[in-house]
Amino acid sequence: MKEKYPFGEIEAKWQDYWEEQGLFHTDATSAEDKYYCLMMFPYPSGTLHVGHGRNYIIGDAVARYKKMRGLRVLTPMGWDAFGLPAENAAIKSGTHPRESTLQNIALMKAQLRSWGCCYDWEREVTSCLPDYYKWTQWLFLKFYERGLAYKKEAAVNWDPVDQTVLANEQVLPDGTADRSGAVVEKKMLSQWFFKITDYAQRLLDDLEQLDGWPERVKSMQENWIGRSEGARLNFTLVPREDGVADTSDVVPCFTTRVDTIYGCTYMVLAPEYPGIAEMVQGLPEEKSVMDFVQQAGRLSSIERTTEGDKNGVFTGRYVVNPYNGEQIPLWVGDYVLLEYGTGAVMAVPAHDTRDWAFAKKYKLPIRLSIQNPDQTLNVDEMEDAYVDDGIVVDSPPFSGMPNREAIPKMAAYAEEKGFGGPVIQYRLRDWLISRQRYWGAPIPIIYCDDCGMVPVPESDLPVLLPEDVEFKPSGESPLKSCAAFTQVDCPQCGKPARRESDTMDTFVDSSWYFFRYLSARDDTKAIDTELCDNWLPVDQYIGGIEHAILHLMYARFFTKAIHDLGLIHFEEPFKQLFTQGMITKRSEKDGQLYKMSKSKGNVVSPEELIREYGADTVRLYTLFIGPPEKEAEWNDAGVEGAFRFLRRLWRRVYEHRDLLRDAKTLQPDLQHMQQPERDLYRKLHESIRRITRDLEGDFHFNTAIAQIMELMNAADDIKVNNNSSDQVRAVFRETMETIVVLISPFAPHIAEELWQELGRAPSILQTEWPRVNEAALHRAQMEIVLQVNGKLRGRIMVGAEADQAAIEQEALADPQVQKWIEGKTVRKVIVVPGRLVNIAVS
């Protein structure tokens, strides 16, 4: 055994060993005691920094721990390999995305290996390879058959930098693209969507089952789905005086405040509302309306949706309020959004702040229909809308009701009379999945002049990406101009037709990869029903919080849709979700804390650290840095601390190597222990209990490691040498061996090496996790804290069997306590056995 901790040497040795032995190669035919431990598969960007590393290190520690607990652990890994960065690089450098992606995968695989992270590589999936995307395309076809995939013309988000459309989820609240940072534009385009809105209610309801998910993530999804209950009301358009007929004479609107309908004094349409042009054609207002519509269309989505000045124009038309038959003016206003509800709003200025502002600006009438029961309102004296609850007034036959009670009654009334009824509205929009880019899975659709839109027959899958294409900086997808790709015969009629040249959003690829791991090499079907039913839902999913909405919502949607296809029989993919916090580092430039990124120049490269300290040190520090779900600041000095600890552990074993090996058969025996080894033995078993509890709960690696350090400190304090008693040596041996086992999920290389040095057979992964010896926890004497009026005044030792009365007596007799209760009246004495005595005096 070497005196100095030879981390480089042993790490290479054990990485080879784990690989050769295939310790994480899991036979999935039996799912008994299964534990599916999944980490979000990475985009192969090239190299991972220590911030990325946290994810894999946490996952590896969990997998190793669960394996030692005797579970059948499945931990696969793969690559979310389609995506824009590779294609953008290709435009600049000319290297084909496939080539650069596969290169990056090789690099990152080596990185993961160098951290000691073990996976079942035989299940590796790579989403950009045909054996994977064939099945992504197949799922698309299944969705298409069921009407879940459809094409429509819509105002969509256009990223002018990446030259493609984006899903709503990929646009940040400030209106910029989450990937490129470009200001997103609105464009009317014909695009492919997945009908995720059909699943809005199920996605919302099933959040309740997800006890193992962080509250934060569930609340984010809830907000994103944005359910609101209200009513849909049809207003009829008053016919034109000139006798010109309207295409539609109904203007529906959505409201959550049907109780205020009698206060409605006008109606407002979104500028994009279909049919506005016909509605005003030939009227004196036509020009002003059309000018306004054009002007509003020029505004960016941010300008449009930022609260502020509200502009509008009268259309010259009127609609009828179905409740009271009143004719009210119809306006167009830029604060009304086409995408939400029906694109039309019934305006109640007295009870809505936005309508109030608009009515004031354009001098529209304001009428009260909810009265404040505490302070009578008068429209002329009001300074803003009254939006709180109250009593319905001037609304026959609903007057006098509390407004909350009136809402369902008034909605039901609309249904009765046939002009509307209660509805539920969601904020969630359908998922836009087509992208005008090359490096993605081609959408398997063919356009034929005669047959229209024709799905590619399943037997023709995959629709392969052509290899020989030119990457032009024009931003246009090379697929579009690749005749060999687009020109195709119609599968129905055989005439020349044209292929869809858009590819799918990469979030489609990542929405089902966790099913594919179960049958990664199966070229007969996408999903193995039996294996998935046995192994899923995933027992533990680990990844970054940045996917709280995007990936995690899409994957839930896919699971439900695939369930409805009958391919699986569960509806939620991830039982437990753990979202680790980001690693930040102070920028040397401005001293601010940032998430690690190349652009901020605050990236810590693991390679350098591994060279200097070894992978175990990086792992130990990463896990010790703080509670894993929280953000943590990387501190180079802290790495040094982790290294010192491992070096100390190595040295302790080295110093006592002969003694430890010789004591291999000595067993601790409580009957024959003296005080020092008895105390260490108790500490050992207390540590096992605490560490196990920390790992079983929410992965509190930081406190688990702290406990190992404490135990090590205690082991250092006991005097042990070859002349020590059998019990001292037995307890010391068991302590050192247990420390090695306990630390093995965190620092596996040193653990394997020391385990072997201690004369044990590898692999330590096949060792059982230590059990607590309850008898060891027992104390003959207990320290009792003495308080007077809740303040610490002393401490006494009492026998473990001492009864409350005896403890109380001893406490009161204590000289320290005497000093504080002298001359005062003891009102009450609380005795908490095994802990403390509190004496209340006055």
Q: Rule CB under 7 A: which of 781-820 touch RNA? A: 783, 785, 787, 789-793, 795
Separation CA 345–CA 333 (nearest Å): 10
Q: Which of 16, 205, 716, 803 binds RNA (CB under 7 A)?
A: 716
The reply to whether 487 sits near RNA by the rule CB under 7 A is no
Output the smallest distance, CB 401 to RNA, in A. Answer: 19
Report the residue number, 545 or 659, with the smaller CB distance to RNA: 545
Q: Which of 11, 334, 509, 814 binds RNA (CB under 7 A)?
A: 334
The reply to whether 352 sits near RNA by the rule CB under 7 A is yes
Residue type, 589: K
Output the smallest distance, CB 692 to RNA, in A. Answer: 14
Report the residue number, 93 or 818, with the smaller CB distance to RNA: 818
The reply to whether 176 sits near RNA by the rule CB under 7 A is no
CA angle 433, 435, 439 (to 5 degrees): 115
At 363 the three-state DSSP class reads coil
The reply to whether 341 sits near RNA by the rule CB under 7 A is yes
Output the smallest distance, CB 179 to RNA, in A. Answer: 14
The reply to whether 432 sits near RNA by the rule CB under 7 A is no
Site for RNA in 296-315 (CB under 7 A): 304-310
Q: Which of 118, 508, 518, 709 binds RNA (CB under 7 A)?
A: 709
Output the smallest distance, CB 260 to RNA, in A. Answer: 8
Bridge partners (DSSP) of residue 840 are 828
The reply to whether 13 sits near RNA by the rule CB under 7 A is no
Output the smallest distance, CB 354 to RNA, in A. Answer: 4
Q: Which of 85, 343, 390, 420 binds RNA (CB under 7 A)?
A: 343
Which stretch of DSSP H or E encloses residue 446? Answer: strand 445-448
Give the number of other Cβ atoms within 10 Å of residue 814's Cβ. Answer: 19
The reply to whether 718 sits near RNA by the rule CB under 7 A is no
Output the smallest distance, CB 618 to RNA, in A. Answer: 14
Candidates 22-30, 224-232, 663-671, 718-726; binding stretch for RNA (CB under 7 A): 224-232
Q: Which of 425, 506, 510, 602 binds RNA (CB under 7 A)?
A: 425
What angle, rounded to 10 degrees, do the helices at 726-743 and 748-757 form?
Answer: 150
Separation CA 740–CA 748 (nearest Å): 9
Report the residue number, 100 or 617, with the smaller CB distance to RNA: 617
Q: What is the DSSP secondary-structure string of 310-339?
A: --EEEEEEEEE-TTT--EEEEEEETTS-SS
Candidates 226-234, 443-451, 604-612, 737-745; binding stretch for RNA (CB under 7 A): 226-234
Output the smallest distance, CB 4 to RNA, in A. Answer: 9
Closest CA to 334 of 313, 316, 318, 319: 313
Question: Alpha helix locations (H) across 226-333?
Answer: 276-280, 286-298, 301-305
Q: Which of 116, 230, 271, 573 binds RNA (CB under 7 A)?
A: 230
CA angle 648, 653, 655 (to 5 degrees): 90
In angstroms, the Cα distances linking 367 to 350, 351, 517, 620 are 6, 9, 62, 67
Site for RNA in 258-277 (CB under 7 A): 270
Q: What is the DSSP secondary-structure string of 204-224?
A: HHGGGG-TBS-HHHHHHHHHH
Question: Alpha helix locations (H) across 615-747?
Answer: 615-624, 636-655, 657-662, 675-696, 701-717, 726-743
Separation CA 570–CA 564 (nearest Å): 10
Report the residue number, 125 or 196, with the smaller CB distance to RNA: 196
What angle, rounded to 10 degrees, do the helices at 84-93 and 97-114 form?
Answer: 120
Cβ neighbours for 497, distance < 8 A, ≥ 6 positions apart: 446, 447, 448, 449, 451, 454, 488, 489, 490
Separation CA 224–CA 222 (nearest Å): 5
The reply to whether 637 sits near RNA by the rule CB under 7 A is yes
The reply to whether 340 sits near RNA by the rule CB under 7 A is yes
The reply to whether 572 sits near RNA by the rule CB under 7 A is no
Task: Bin 185: left if φ > 0, else alpha if -120 < ψ < 50, else beta.
Answer: beta
Say if residues 191 and 432 touch (Cβ distance below 8 Å): yes
Task: Bin 834: left if φ > 0, else alpha if -120 < ψ < 50, else beta.
Answer: left
Output the smallest distance, CB 332 to RNA, in A. Answer: 12
The reply to whether 256 sits near RNA by the rule CB under 7 A is yes
Q: Which of 530, 710, 757, 808 binds RNA (CB under 7 A)?
A: 710
Residue type, 656: H
Bridge partners (DSSP) of residue 435 are 503
Report the residue number, 296 or 730, with the smaller CB distance to RNA: 296
Say if residues 635 and 621 touch (Cβ distance below 8 Å): no
Site for RNA in 69-88 (CB under 7 A): none
Output the smallest distance, CB 687 to RNA, in A. Answer: 11
Output the smallest distance, CB 10 to RNA, in A. Answer: 18
Report the residue number, 544 or 638, with the smaller CB distance to RNA: 638
Report the residue number, 70 or 274, with the smaller CB distance to RNA: 274
CB-side neighbour CA atoms (13 Å) of 547: 21
Q: Which of 703, 725, 767, 773 binds RNA (CB under 7 A)?
A: 703
Site for RNA in 673-702 (CB under 7 A): 700, 702
Report the residue number, 338 or 666, with the smaller CB distance to RNA: 338
Q: Which of 185, 286, 522, 631 binds RNA (CB under 7 A)?
A: 631
Output the smallest distance, CB 42 to RNA, in A. Answer: 21
Output the smallest distance, CB 549 to RNA, in A. Answer: 6
Q: Which of 413, 645, 755, 769 binds RNA (CB under 7 A)?
A: 645
Q: Which of 69, 240, 354, 657 binds RNA (CB under 7 A)?
A: 354
Candidates 328-336, 489-497, 668-676, 724-732; binding stretch for RNA (CB under 7 A): 328-336
Output the smallest distance, CB 483 to RNA, in A. Answer: 41
Site for RNA in 124-163 (CB under 7 A): none
At 287 the three-state DSSP class reads helix
Residue type, 58: I
The reply to whether 644 sits near RNA by the rule CB under 7 A is yes
Output the smallest distance, CB 838 to RNA, in A. Answer: 4
Q: What is the DSSP secondary-structure string of 112-142?
A: HHHTT----GGG-EETTSHHHHHHHHHHHHH
Q: Which of 146, 630, 672, 771 binds RNA (CB under 7 A)?
A: 630
Site size for RNA, by CB under 7 A? 82
The reply to whether 238 sits near RNA by the rule CB under 7 A is no
Site for RNA in 374-413 (CB under 7 A): none
Site for RNA in 537-566 (CB under 7 A): 549
Say if residues 332 and 269 touch (Cβ distance below 8 Å): yes
In angstroms, the Cα distances linking 787 to 782, 795, 805, 806 are 16, 9, 16, 16
